[in-house]
Amino acid sequence: MTWAERVGDLATTFALVLINFGRIFTLIFRVLTAKIDGLVTNLAEKSESGITPTGSTAKSWVSLPAAVAWGVAAIVLRTVSIITVFARQLTETVDEFLRSLAEESV
């Protein structure tokens, strides 16, 4: 075995180590986004059943800020959910790309 073949084997091994190291981070990121998405989806599915109108028209102005806060929270949670789904899909795509690179270099 010549020195060029040994350097080539070393470079291939080093590339495989880097690829698998990158796959570790994509796996961690995928698990984190799945957990965050589950939490956000669970929070977004909670209803406003705990908030009931008091029936008093004199204090009805108090319910308006609460309704606005619930609406803003729902929009924020749905936006975060969409972002986490996109991030999870991106990490799956990167992981599949890295896997295909590792399989081709072997």
Q: What is the DSSP-derived secondary structure letter of residue 60? A: G
Residue 27's alpha-carbon distances to 30, 31, 40, 83, in angstroms, are 5, 6, 20, 17
* Domain definitions of the chain by residue range: 3-46+60-105
Residue 93's alpha-carbon distances to 59, 62, 73, 83, 85, in angstroms, are 53, 48, 30, 15, 12
pLDDT band at 55 (very low <50, low <70, confident <90, very high): low
Per-position b or e across 55-69, b if 16+ CB within 10 A of its CB: eeeeeeeeeeeeeee
The chain-wide mean pLDDT, for the chain, equals 83
pTM exceeds 0.85: no
Amino acid type, 49? S
Residue 53 above 60 pLDDT? no
